Structures are given as C-alpha cells and as structure tokens.
C-alpha cells in the first residue's frame, strides 16, 4: 500500500456523521484506548504483590524493574509509531500498538515465579512498553488535526485518559490479585483481554480529517497560544535543526523529573513526613492519581487561554515551591494539598506539551516530532526517581532531596522565558 493510498484510506469516511460531529466520537475512542494503556501506572499494585508472594519474593529493585523497562520502551515505541502514523495514518498504528501492548500483558500472565522473571521483563516491560509507546502517540497527533481550534483542551483530554487509567485499574487489579495472592501475575490474563478489547474498539474508528477539512470560523494565530510557527509545518528533520525542539524537550524532562520524584516516593513520604498510616498512605496515593489525570485536562485547557509558555512557567513554579515545602508538612491535610498540586502539575506537563509542539512545529508531522520529544519522558522518568531515592537514602533526608529537586524546578522556569515559537526561518539556527 503506497503512502497516498494509506492516508486516503484513513480519511475515507466519517461513518455517515458530519466531520464536526465525528471528531467528538474520535475523542471518545481516543479516551478508550488511553484508558487501557494508562493502566501501566497501576504497576505499584503488582510490584508490592511480587515482593511478598511466596513464589516470587522479589527485592524492591527487582519488583520495580519491569515498570522501569516499560517507561524506557515508551520513547522507542512513540518514535516508531509517530513516524509510521505520519506516513500510513493513525488507525493501523493504533491497532498494532494496542495488540502489542495486550500481547505483552498476556505473556506476563504465564509467569509462575522467580524463575520466569525474564518473561515478566520481556512481556510486561519490553513488548508492552513498546506497544504502549506506539499507541500513545496516535490520538495525540490525530486529534490535533481534528481540533486546530482547541489543541490544548483536546490533547489534555487525550492524555487525561492515560492518567485516569491507573485510577480505574488499581482497585480491579488488587481484587484480582487477592483471589490468588501467591500467583499475582495471573491477574494479567483477564486484564490483558480487557485491554485488547478496549484498545481495538477505540482504535478501529481512528482516521485523519478529510482533505480540505477546516473548522468554521477558526483562524490560526501565530503566537504561543496557538498556531504553528510562521504558519509552517516542519518535518522532523527541520524541527531537530531548531533550538526550540531542544528547549521544549528540556522543559518536558525537568518537569517530569520534578513530579515523578514525588510520585515514586509518595507512599513512604506520606508515612514518614506527616504520619499517615500505611493504609492511609495507600488511599492517599489513589486519590492523588486523580489529580494526575485531571491535571492533564485542566492545565491543557488553561494553556489555550494564557499561552503555553506561561502555563509551563506556572507548572514548574508550583512544583518547585510545593516540593520545597513538602518535607516540612507534618500536618496531613497540608501534605495532601501540596502533593496534589505536584501531581496536578505533573499531569499538566503531559497535557500541555503535545499542543505546544503542535503550535511550534505544525501538526502535519506531529507524530514523528512529538514522538521523538517523548525521550524527555523516559529521561525524566528515570532521573527523577533515581535522584530522589539517592538523596533520601537510609537517613530519610527528605528535606535535602525535595529541596534540591524543587530548586531545580524553579531554575527551569527560566527556560520558559527564552523559548519562543519559531518564525519559520529558524531551521538550522542554534
């Protein structure tokens, strides 16, 4: 199938609906796909079970490794998926990503104990992580083309589904594990089947807008609030030759690192700093996950009105201040409020950056450009937890850890003032 035919195939019909109405159906379909792959953030439920289950008895590092591998593979999958999507259209890529993600989960369900640890890494980590990345980028890039008038809100909704995936999955996964505590990975079988059904149902209706599609009354603008730089649709190679691509990736990396440093230590931080019980801390983490999902929608919508860089300045500023205050929050309510703001801002980073990339480089090649930019997710997702764990250490030095990370977030605000939308003539400038 040649590229032109493939693109036409993904634009061939709107199922009898007008393009204006059909685009909202695509939002619902994108949310369904993102709910399924967003379940990856429920890994802590499985990690704890693998530490205590008799056939496994994994160390904390071993129990965390499958998740770390998954996060690392997301960037590879999103890069590959983004490039193929721009050439072949969104539907086939999303279907392939959903199948790969579910197959990896199903493979993990066949593990029985520590001797099968390699299969858990291969299935849940490598295969599912790659499939997750392939699928994740698709609705983000596709929906920007359908909603040029609401890029912030709509990409916030798309990745908001990903953030809420763990909220929906965690209690179900825990219930399944409780049915057979000595075989926690058996829960992956029904979950994998559910993920497969959900992702295929959502991806099956994906397609790009028809030729000549336009939103009535919408005129693109060329500032940081919307519209691509100088009205130009950059290729991936052209975007990589601008300083703006690297500045945006740096903002993404540092904001992710700041937020995930707390996320990786949230449960123990709650017990050690403000005296939550183990059960209370676990419940708090579940509530905080809602802010992660909600932040993706709230901040993205805000960015449509105040501009992308002002939004990132606020996100980094709030994360920095809250992280610095957090070690001194002995009051449970204050701790919960500060942590909720950090989670809200962490989610907002993922909700706002896709629209920002679309503003800067256009949406025609958004899959490839933003897919590659997600290296910031992998870098921040590894660096943040490692720095936090190393600085906290055995002495529980939360003040040193969170103050250091908070100051870095505050310094990163400077990047938002020097990052400007390219004017279409910036290719090759450094």
The Cα–Cα gap between 155 and 403 comes to 31
428 C-beta neighbours (distance < 10 Å), count = 8
pLDDT for 38 equals: 82
Listed range (6-15, 124-133, 148-157, 312-321) with the worst mean pLDDT: 6-15
Across the range 261-268, mean pLDDT stands at: 81
Q: Residue 99: what are its φ and ψ, rounded to 5°?
A: -65, -45
Give alpha helix (H) positions in 116-179: 117-120, 128-146, 151-179
Under a CB-based contact definition with an 8 Å cutoff, are residues 166 and 39 in contact?
yes
Collapsing DSSP to helix, strand or coil, 364 comes out as coil
pTM: 0.75
pLDDT of residue 312: 95
Residues 120 and 114: their CA atoms lie apart, in Å, by 9
One fold for both 1-8+17-210 and 226-430?
yes
At a CB cut-off of 8 Å and minimum separation 6, what does 82 contact?
Answer: 137, 141, 366, 367, 368, 369, 370, 371, 372
pLDDT at residue 160, as a whole number? 78
Q: CA-CA-CA-CA torsion for 8, 13, 18, 22, nearest 10 degrees?
A: -90
For residue 4, pLDDT over 60 is answered with no
Mean pLDDT (the chain) is: 82
> Do residues 354 and 155 lie in contact, with contact meaning Cβ atoms separated by under 8 Å?
yes
DSSP string, 407-425: HHHHHHHHHHHH-----S-
> Residue 22 has which token pair?
């059909």
Give 124's DSSP letter: I
Tell me if 173 sits within 8 A of 45, measured CB to CB. yes
3-state helix, strand, coil in the chain (%, to 5): 80, 0, 20
- What count of residues does the chain have? 430
Query: Alpha helices of 264-277 — where are they, by DSSP H?
Result: 266-274
Q: Do residues 417 and 312 lie in contact, with contact meaning Cβ atoms separated by under 8 Å?
A: no
CA atoms within 13 A on the CB side of 365: 17
The beta-carbon contacts of 61-66 under 8 Å, at least 24 apart in sequence, are 62/117, 65/121, 65/125, 66/108, 66/120, 66/121, 66/124, 66/125
Domain 226-430 has CATH 1.20.1250.20: yes
Query: Sign of torsion, CA 26 28 30 36?
Result: negative
Q: Where are the domains of the chain?
A: 1-8+17-210, 226-430
CA angle 290, 296, 300 (to 5 degrees): 150
> Where is pLDDT greater, at 28 or 315?
315
What is the fold, at CATH topology level, of the domain defined by 1-8+17-210? Answer: Growth Hormone; Chain: A; (1.20.1250)
Q: How far apart are CA 378 and CA 73, in angstroms?
A: 8
Using the structure block, give the residue that is written with the tokens 């910031």. Answer: 376
The pLDDT value recorded for residue 121 is 93
The alpha carbon of residue 197 and the mean position of all alpha carbons in its chain are separated, in whole angstroms, by 21
d(CA 9, CA 2): 11
pLDDT (tens digit per residue) in 171-229: 888 888 888 888 888 989 999 999 999 999 999 988 888 777 776 666 655 444 444 44
- Name residue 223's beta-bridge partners: 226
Q: Which of 314, 380, 374 is nearest to 341 (CA)?
A: 314
Q: What are the DSSP calls for 71-116, one per residue?
A: HHHHHHHHHHHHHHHHHH-HHHHHHHHHHHHHHHHHHHTT--SGGG
pLDDT band for position 11 (cuts 50, 70, 90): very low
SS3 29: helix
First-to-last C-alpha distance (Å) of the chain:
39
Per-residue confidence (pLDDT) for residue 5, from 0 to 100 = 43
């Amino acid at each position: 199938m040649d590229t032109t035919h493939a693109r036409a195939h993904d634009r061939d019909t709107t199922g009898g609906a007008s393009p204006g109405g059909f685009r909202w159906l695509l939002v619902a379909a994108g949310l369904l796909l993102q709910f399924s792959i967003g379940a990856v953030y429920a890994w802590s439920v499985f990690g704890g079970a693998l530490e205590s289950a008799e056939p496994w008895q994994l160390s904390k590092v071993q129990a965390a490794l499958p998740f770390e591998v998954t996060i690392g593979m997301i960037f590879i999958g999103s890069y590959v998926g983004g490039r193929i999507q721009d050439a072949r259209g969104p539907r086939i890529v999303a279907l392939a990503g959903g199948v790969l993600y579910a197959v990896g989960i199903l493979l993990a369900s066949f593990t029985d104990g520590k001797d099968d640890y390699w299969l858990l890494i291969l299935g849940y980590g490598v295969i599912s992580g790659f499939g997750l990345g392939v699928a994740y980028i698709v609705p983000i890039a596709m929906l920007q083309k359908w909603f040029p008038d609401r890029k912030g809100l709509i990409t916030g909704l798309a990745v908001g589904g990903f953030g809420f995936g763990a909220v929906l999955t965690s209690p179900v996964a825990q219930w399944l594990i409780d049915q057979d505590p000595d075989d926690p990975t058996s829960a992956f079988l029904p979950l994998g089947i559910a993920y497969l059904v959900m992702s295929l149902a959502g991806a099956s209706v994906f397609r790009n807008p028809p030729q000549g599609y336009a939103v009535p009354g919408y005129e693109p603008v060329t500032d940081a609030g919307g519209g691509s730089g100088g009205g130009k649709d950059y290729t991936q190679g052209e975007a990589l030759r601008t300083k703006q691509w690297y500045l945006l990736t740096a903002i993404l990396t540092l904001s992710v690192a700041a937020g995930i440093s707390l996320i990786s230590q949230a449960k123990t931080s709650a017990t050690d700093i403000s005296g939550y019980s183990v059960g209370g801390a676990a419940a708090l983490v579940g509530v905080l996950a809602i802010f992660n999902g909600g932040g993706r929608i709230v901040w993205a919508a805000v960015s449509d009105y105040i501009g992308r860089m002002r939004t990132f300045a606020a996100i980094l500023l709030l994360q920095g201040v809250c992280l610095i205050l957090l070690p001194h929050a002995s009051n449970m309510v204050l701790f919960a409020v500060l942590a909720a703001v950090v989670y809200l801002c962490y989610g907002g980073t993922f909700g706002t950056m896709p629209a920002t990339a679309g503003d800067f480089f256009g949406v025609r090649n958004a899959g490839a450009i933003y897919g590659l930019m997600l290296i910031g997710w992998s870098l921040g997702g590894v660096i943040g937890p490692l720095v936090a764990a190393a600085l906290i250490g055995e002495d529980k030095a939360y003040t040193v850890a969170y103050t250091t990370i908070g100051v870095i977030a505050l310094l990163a605000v400077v990047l938002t003032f020097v990052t400007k939308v390219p004017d279409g003539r910036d290719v090759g400038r450094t």
